[in-house]
Structure 1
Amino acid sequence: MRIPEETVERIRQAADIIEVVNDFISLKKRGSNWIACCPFHNEKTPSFNVNPSRQIYKCFGCGKAGDAVKFVMDVENIGYGEALRYLAKKYGIEIEEQEQTPEEVIRQNERESLFIVLNFAKTFFQDTLLTSEEGQSIGLSYFRERGFSNPTIEAFDLGYSFDQWDALLKEATQRGYNRELLEKAGLVISKEGTDGGAQKLFDRFRGRVMFPIHNVSGRVIAFGARILKADKNQPKYLNSPETEVYHKSQVLYGIFQAKQAIRQENVCFLTEGYTDVISLHQAGIKNVVASSGTSLTIEQIRLISRFTPNVTILYDGDAAGIKAALRGLDMVLEEGLNVSIVTFPNGEDPDSYVRQVGAESFKTYIRENTHDFIRFKTDMLLRDAGDNPFKRAEVISEIVSSITRIPDPLQRQVFFRTTAQQLHVDEQTLISESNRLVRKQQDQTQKEYDRQKDRQSRQQIPPGTSAEPSLDDINALLNEAGVEPSFREEVPMPDQRPAAERSKAVRTPISYQEEECIRLLINHGNRELEPGVTLCQYVLSELHEVDFQTPPYDLMLTLFREAYSQGNILTATDFFSVERESDIQHHAITLTTPRYEISEGWVKHEIYVPTEEEIGILADAAYRNILRIKKMLAEQRMASLQQQLRESAGKTSEETDQLLIEYMHFKRIDMEISSLLGTVISG
């Protein structure tokens, strides 16, 4: 279905970029903007910038940029229409969709179809739990035994699957859902019939209580299911398989229900099971998620870091399990998170313990029994080592290895000091061991780099040729690596595009001046440089016969010309819409988002900093930009004429003289502009 344009505009007007982004990551105010670590690439220093006045975001690390709709598209990896529907639901806007053409139906995004069929399954399981005799007597009674209330069951969309082979399949087929889609969503399984007969489909989940798994935005992406009857041939828990929308290593159970509480409490409690999350949530401890019985992954750690840098892991009382799990937690430290650990008495887990002692006593126990990861790990390993000097030395090495992974140097220093006291060794001994480990890692990295370089050189250099690369070879290699060559006749301005974009082509010097011209037009086009003369009018009149050589900037210049011819001057907002080519939107946001702001301390102490907003500075910037563009065009023409003169064989003397006259004309233009710019003029 197509969303009408007036509805799209209502959604855009209602969507607040700060609210939308804050649903997925924790923003912090800095000056007039908001910042965070980028959700699209791994980083420890925030480079993700959100501008509430322009309603746009921009990451100066990976280059991602857009408005509220584009952010939802990027962070959820969904299409434009689906992102609009998400925002419409968030802001309570009703969508009266228009019928699609048959071609549009065929092109409907399969990913969106998976979400639709998974949501149908969630509703089917809910209805089965609450309205069917089997669901109430088996599924609902189980949840009641666990102490789950109706609001809790509703908050987590809990359900029940009939103990039948094809209950879901029949209902879905009657509703018109494609069988192939049901299989791709992991809801049904196909099996070849006996004696090579036709394939048979049957429900994956049968006779189980259902735990829907939501993504960060609340959409159902998979299911966990627990069997209730004793059956040795069936696993106790059964999960959805990996699909296009569900990747187990990237998901945390309960993250949708917990994200706001995690942000408010500034700590995330991490458990192992579904019922741990649900019981704690019902007890009022809502900042809790589960790894769903899997080992913690780097993607899950980064998901938590969107909302808080503090993680407290709630372990069952099984010492052997804790010791095994500790080995995988170093990567949490490596990501810059602050890790604490709480263990429960033997035989207890978070679910059973909170039901046994109650919410307030549980919270008190957490406060009194939380230990930082390094101290906890040291205590546990020391108990195992006893008085054995060799084992104690191994403990020291392992603890130092963990501390060395912490990216913050101040935190490392504190941990070295406290751990030295705990181990009764000299602090400098730990630091020396850490330095040895760092050097060892660096040596291994260098050796691996050298081996790869050697393999590449053997593969690329034909027999009998020189291994010494030419300047062009070096430039080409640097471009492939996403690095701008620094040894050119003219050094370009810094390129802030992502490496993937920089590697596509080498930027020409004039492209930087074209970019600067568009930046001035977008940010200041309607400002008057003098009474009655706007910057847009001045620039367009000076460049009325000039076409830009960089495609996106040429298109943007054309749009400015078309609008001005109709009496309008475009602004940044005109380029932010997703309907425009995404490349244009990306460039517009990049050119309107300053990376740095003047410190509030400078303002407080009345330290004056000239800004481009001042008319004199703005007029000079526009004037010099136009001069540079014309100078580079003159230089390009001179280079072309020089080439023609070198190839003058077969030309008449009159043709050669005409080339020389034209060359000297552009040479004079070049010298005059150089004089105006105050640059050195070569003889």
Structure 2
Amino acid sequence: MISKSTIDQVYETARLEEVIGDFVQLKKSGSNFKGLSPFTDERSPSFMVSPVKQIWKDFSSGKGGNVVAFLMEHEHFTYPEAIKYLAKKYNIEVEETERTDEQKQEANERESMYLVSEYAQQYFSDILWESELGKAIGLSYFKERGFTDETIKKFHLGYCLDQWDGFTMAALENGYQLNYLEKTGLTIIKEDTSNPNNSKKFDRFKARVMFPIHSMSGRVLGFGGRILTNDKKAAKYLNSPESDIYHKSKVLYGIYYAKQSIAKEDNCYLVEGYTDVIQFHQRGIENVVASSGTALTPEQIRLINRLTKNITVLFDGDAAGLRASLRGIDLILEQGMNVKVCTFPEGEDPDSFAKNNDLEEVQEYLNSNSKDFIQFKANLLAEEAADDPIKRADTVRDIVNSIAKIPDAIKREIYIQECANIMKVSEGVLFSTLAQIGKKDIADASKKVKQEQKAFDVVKNEVAVEKVDVQYELERKIIEILLLYGKEEQEFEDLVLKENEEGDLILEPESLEIKVYEKIFLDLQDDEIELTNEKFRNIYLKLIAELNEKEDFTVSTFLADLDQEMVSEVSSIMMEEEKYVLHDWARKDIYPKEKETVISQLVSETILTLRCYLIKKRMQTLQKDTEDKSEDNRETLEEIMNYLQLNTLLNRKLNRVLS
């Protein structure tokens, strides 16, 4: 268990915008930051971060919370893992008591798989550096590739011995369960159907040098292993199989080491192999990642899209595989990103080029040879078409197909003009082809919508229109006011119910200066109002207690003591208004009044509206009681008249006209 003092220190030290900035490219927006949602596929920012409140809200997915909640949502950390991650980032010593065997068993399956993977990384690294075979085979290989000791240690490179079950037996002896060794793919189990006790266990990565694959936060998700012999039956590279923690289509090799540099340089170099990434890093270019030998996927592109809008794809000098790689460029364009392409001289790849040239030479080459994708594709396909008019026409159509994938209309037009110049074709013809492609896409989309509509028609009559829950919204507003302005001292005009000389009830104003939380608490107590929503009621009681007891009350310390479900609810309440910042009303010459300037009015109107609503509900209940004509309803009717009179007075105070 992590000590309370460590948790408090983590919350006090951690800066939300810094932590999230490691995963999402944030831009200043007033007093807040905004960026693309890391949880959904979007092109317009709907993710807001408040440095003042130390909370975030993702309006596209509905998620929100504090710094710990972000790590739990984004990296799938447990609460203790998130605290430890932050402690490590801010150099805070973690005080914790030793976990019991029972607590270890309670660790969930994902955490167990992470623990097994982390043990494997350390084991392979130890074998590389400390065993004679590891040094003679694995370390020698990495040295031959030109990697320094510092680089090998930075990327946690390792070696798996040429033994059938060396790693597996070591893991079992250290208390790791065979179940999780199999689920992570580190161990292969060959079942003996006749006698399950004779099942054989094998190391998946036997006799391979090891490349750990990390998540964006540095957790070990899986491994890539390269064989060092010339065994034609064995794959040169072998990756961990898909598991609960490793999905190769959603992972980029090197993203953990590259994320800060990508955001800083506002560009990401995309390569194919592990050694390409490592060699570039060693040369001093860190904003580079690899697709780990798999075809590029939309999920991988979105991972980069959170950090930058610019990708430069680096291809080997061998032109044979270039055409097949063009599909990946189209996928990047579909995500609304800017693409450049750079090819290396024949016989060179990113690994060898970075190894054989110094930093300035590599940078100069990349800057001089990175072409806009349209120039690259047009030149490549034009060379293939040569003087064949049919192939030339197909080439033009291929390029326009790529341009059609770009979401931005202005970019599409510019690229059409550029393509016309390169291919010596009139812009009119290209625009006409683009329009035809667009019509086909619209027709296909329309067909799909109609099919979905048919399915929807079957059930649409069953869908009821959801009514606004007035009391829910008012109770939510009370929580929001307490969180934002609870400690503020304001002058309120209180309304006291009195009888005038004619015997009529009137509301007489009385001024008083009081803190917002005291005003709300006293008003609700006077009216004997209790919040009906259980979540809001729990938050309200905790809030009132802390606002009353703590002079140095802050939202971040209040959130630190709540469970994550309540943290998410509180964050959603506090950030609700921030979504309007995303619309940038000022650019449209619309300037909403800041709530801070009318706090007392906001409090009074919210409480009065709640009173009116509850009075109306009470009157409806009483009216039902009068439906029984056999009973004497005079007292009930008198009570209704009193409520009616009070309701009229309150609405008059709210400047509302009643029918």
Answer yes or no: is the 8 Å Cα contact 1:82–1:112 preserved in 2.
Answer: no
2:464 to 475, 494, 497: 475
Provide, for residues 449-483 of structure 1, a one-character-per-residue CA deviation record: whole Å limited to 9, x for no partner: 2222223445x5xxxxxx9x4xxx4435xxxxxxx
Distance 1:359 1:635 in 2: 75
Question: Residue in 2 aligned with 1:489?
Answer: none
Query: Cα distance, 1:157 vs. partner?
Result: 0.9
Q: Please list, as runs of the form range in 1=range in 2, the aligned pairs for 1:314-329 lying within 5 A after superposition.
A: 314-329=314-329
Deviation at 1:546, TM superposition (A): 0.8
Q: Distance in 2 between matches of 1:304 and 1:611?
A: 36
Match of residue 638 from structure 2: 661
Is 1:572–1:588's contact at 8 Å kept on the other side of the alignment?
no
2:542 to 554, 559, 568: 559
Structure 1 residue 523 corresponds to structure 2 residue 501: no
CA offsets 1:606-665 (integer angstroms, 9 cap, x no match): x99753323xx222221111121111112222333344445x3xx5230x4444333333
**Does the Cα contact within 8 Å between 1:563 and 1:569 map onto a contact in 2?**
no
Check conservation: 2:378, 2:399, Cα contact below 8 A.
yes
Deviation per CA, 1:193-227: give whole Å up to 9, x if none. Answer: 48545211121111111111111112222111111
Cα deviations by residue, 1:463-519 (Å, 9 ceiling, x for unpaired):
xxxx9x4xxx4435xxxxxxxx6xxxxxxxxxxxxxxxxxxxx54122222222222
In structure 2, what is the equivalent of residue 592 of structure 1?
Answer: 574
Question: How far apart are the structure 1 equivalents of 2:87 and 2:389?
Answer: 65
Residues 517 and 544 of structure 2 are in contact (CA less than 8 Å); yes or no, is this contact kept in structure 1? no
Is the Cα contact below 8 Å between 2:585 and 2:591 reproduced in 1?
A: no
1:562-581 aligned within 5 A: 562-563=545-546, 572-577=555-560, 579-581=561-563
d(CA) in 2 for partners of 1:663, 1:341: 77
Q: Is the 8 A contact 2:475 2:536 kept in 1?
A: yes
TM-score, normalised with respect to structure 1: 0.86
| 1:438 counterpart = 2:415 | no
Instruction: Give the structure 2 partner of residue 220 of structure 1.
Output: 220
State the Cα deviation string for residues 324-345 of structure 1 (Å, max 9, x = none).
Answer: 1112321211112111111123
Aligned partner of residue 328 in structure 2, secondary structure:
coil
Decide whether aligned partners of structure 1 residues 157 and 546 sit closer, same or farther in structure 2, where only a CA change above 3 A counts.
Answer: same
Q: For 1:395 and 1:445, how far apart are their aligned partners in 2? A: 26
Between 1:326-335 and 1:407-416, the stretch displaced more is 407-416
Give the distance between the partners of 1:405 and 1:559, measured in 2 at CA.
52
Write the distance in 2 (CA, Å) between the matches of 1:269 and 1:662: 76
Please give the TM-score of this superposition, normalised by the length of structure 2.
Answer: 0.89
How many Å separate the matches in 1 of 2:545 and 2:75? 36
Query: Does 1:549 find its partner at 2:549?
Result: no
SS of residue matched to 2:147: coil
Aligned amino acid, residue 590 of structure 1: S
Contact 2:227 2:236 in 1 (8 A): yes
Q: 1:396 maps to what in 2? A: 396
TM-superposed CA distance for 1:251, in Å, is 0.8
Amino acid at match of 2:572: T
Structure 2 distance, partners of 1:569, 1:525, is: 12
* Correspondence for 2:606: 625
Task: Deviation per CA, 1:406-433: give whole Å up to 9, x if none.
Answer: 2223322221221222232332433333
Whole-angstrom distance in 1 between the partners of 2:546 and 2:129: 60
| Residue number in structure 2 paired with 1:157 | 156
Q: String of CA shifts for 1:561-587, please: whole Å, max 9, x gaps.
A: 44567687965335422x414343223
User: Could you tell me how far apart the structure 1 residues matched to 2:275 and 2:312 are?
Assistant: 18
Whether 2:1 is the aligned partner of 1:15: answer no
| Structure 1 letter corresponding to 2:362 | F
Structure 1 partner of 2:520: 539
Contact 1:575 1:585 in 2 (8 A): no
Aligned residue pairs, count: 633
Distance 1:378 1:640 in 2: 76
2:487/2:547 contact within 8 Å kept: no
Letter in 1 for 2:658: I
Partner of 1:480: none
| Secondary structure in 2 matching 1:546 | coil
Q: Aligned pair in 2 of structure 1 residues 200, 609: CA closer, same or farther (>3 Å)?
A: closer
Q: Is the 1:66–1:585 Cα contact (8 Å) retained in structure 2? A: yes
- 1:676 maps to a residue whose letter is K
Give the alignment's Cα RMSD to 1 decimal: 2.8
2:273 is the alignment partner of 1:284: no
**Counterpart secondary structure, 1:224:** strand
In the other structure, the counterpart of 1:364 is: 364
Quote the residue 1:640 is aligned against.
621
1:224–1:239: 8 Å Cα contact kept in structure 2? yes
**Conserved? CA contact 2:117–2:220, under 8 Å:** yes
Q: Which residue of 1 aligns with 2:50?
A: 51
Deviation for aligned residue 1:102 = 5.5
* SS of corresponding position for 1:407: coil
- The 1:515–1:567 alpha-carbon spacing in structure 2 relative to 1, beyond 3 Å, is same
Matched to 1:290, the amino acid is A
Provide the residue aligned with 2:474 in structure 1.
513
2:297 and 2:593 mapped to 1: Cα distance? 48
> Which one scores higher on RCO, CA 8 angstroms, separation ≥ 6?
2
Give 1:295 shift.
0.4
Name the counterpart of 2:564: 582
Secondary structure of residue in 1 paired with 2:33: strand
Identical aligned residues as a percent: 40
Residue 304 (1) aligns with residue 297 (2) = no
Partner residue of 1:492? Answer: none
Q: Which amino acid aligns with 1:221?
A: L
Question: What does residue range 33-112 of structure 1 map to in structure 2 within 5 Å?
Answer: 33-100=32-99, 103-112=102-111
Structure 2 letter corresponding to 1:667: L
State the SS of the aligned residue for 1:348: coil
Q: Which moved more, 1:103-112 or 1:117-126?
A: 103-112
Q: 2-side partners of 1:552 and 1:340: how far apart? A: 51
* Unaligned ranges ≥5, structure 2: 492-511
